[in-house]
A and B are shown apart, each in its own frame.
Chain A
Amino acid sequence: MIRDEQAIIEVRDLVKVYGADTRALDGITFSVAPGEVFGFLGPNGAGKTTTIRILATLMLATEGSARVAGFDVSGDPHEVRKRLGVAMQTPTLDAFSTGRETLELAGRLHRMPGPEVRRRAGELLELMGLESVAGKLTGAYSGGMKRRLDLASALMHRPQVLILDEPTEGLDPQSRTALWEELERISAAGTTMLLTTHYMEEADRLSSRLAIIDEGRIAVEGAPAELKRGVGADAVLLQFESPDGDGQLAEVRRLLEGLVAPDAVDRHPAGVALAVPNAGSAIPELLRRLEGDGLCIAGLQMSQPSLDDVFMKYTGRRIREEAADQPIILGS
């Protein structure tokens, strides 16, 4: 087996079987380079959390291997734990500890010396905007505060690798955006991140590379933009001042001959729809050809394919249908 010496996370043929026949992971292989933000996008139950739990040394794989920062997760879990920060799907906090106590314990368990523990805890409380509640029990924190404290606790020992399972699940849009900004800052500081999400927008915004995972397998892997390009064309919608249907459709087909294939021009309730690869650079030429021929274009809309389209292409299903409105299970 060839090892990628550059990779900070290296996962090969990971299989996890629960009980007799539940195959949660069915051969997952991927690697993450230092400094990268690697996203795991997939519906609930796809195998994201199982992969993360194996990487975090919380669970043993049935088959396959996983290395983090050069150490095998099953052979050398202690060394992996030293270099890893983990924040799970629901914040895992001791309701009877204060915010400051939570961070200080995390630092102590990572063998940070006393003054450094206090300094770092203070710094993170300030960074996460938790100074005013630092002395309150975490049981009284709001959902967003718990998330931020949990993240701070994973960051205490300045881990080489940060693993985040659904980091913004259950947050309101405002807190979500704030947390994204925070994660972008952490990434800019050089920390490698592996995050799972079932939010397209989150995967798109945060990850430099992502894998779409479905039913325990990686369906496709690549940079978000690259994956979206793989879907093919962008959608361009032409609207007219006085729509007349088929006449305009034929006219557009005629004018764009050689530029856009006739079967990529279609009727649309609001006008005429075109499927154009790289629409951004094709639009000037498009407009030049359509101009001044009595078509009277009133508007033009352009939309790029979404990660949802990517998911659709590789799995044949929409992620939203499965992921939307899942109840959030809070720890009791």
Chain B
Amino acid sequence: MSLVARQVSFSYRPVPGRADARVLRDVDLTVRSGSVTGLLGPNGCGKTTLLKLLSGVLTPTSGAVTVNGRPMAAMPRREAARQIAVVPQETHPAYDYTVLEMVLMGRHPHLGLFQIEGPADIAIAREALAATSTAHLESRPFPSLSGGERQRVVIASALAQSTDTLLLDEPTASLDLGHQLEIAALLTRLNRQRGVTLCLATHDLNLAATVCDTLVLLRDGRVVADGPTADVLTSRAVRQLYDVDADVRFHEAAGRLTVVPVAHAL
């Protein structure tokens, strides 16, 4: 499984002759199989748009996204959904689905038009709940859960899609510290134990340092740096992305790089 973006540009309302309307410009990106790739960049740099292009929800204005060499644009939606699952930033269903119903919706791309999920699908959904430590919530209404529980259930729903690759948009954005670390541990476990390829957009540099082995830095719709986390995550990079002076150093107890913002650089 390889997910590759080649020379991808995108604008929400293409204006002929105005290349500066582009949200993303000539982006090259490879999500290696089995990797945890982090997309970092300031607000509005195009992270979320890039994730939508990678999942095939949006189609590039120019360039191409390919899955195992096949262009995503030519792939039927259901087939793309059997390759790549998405965890959106926030999930607010209009109706009170139960947790199990939410997770079973992940089976949609595997079911025929008039097919209703059977015992095998329910087994897959329950297994996904177990993998995210949410099995005890199965019959609770989804809106009654806490933020951290909800995010884990949405991840379970993406796991039930039985894809090799999971794209996550700000998976810890609205969570407290405990839940942030819980999600970080869950993502690492999914990657190491189940071999799920992960690609996540995040503002949380310490989350990126904890779970990502590869980083892609975006600013103004362009890739400004990419490579192994240890090489890319530097105080220079933090300044380049956010105009913030930061102390980036290896933390013995945490066993990873840590980022301490010091002051705004301007």
Same complex: no
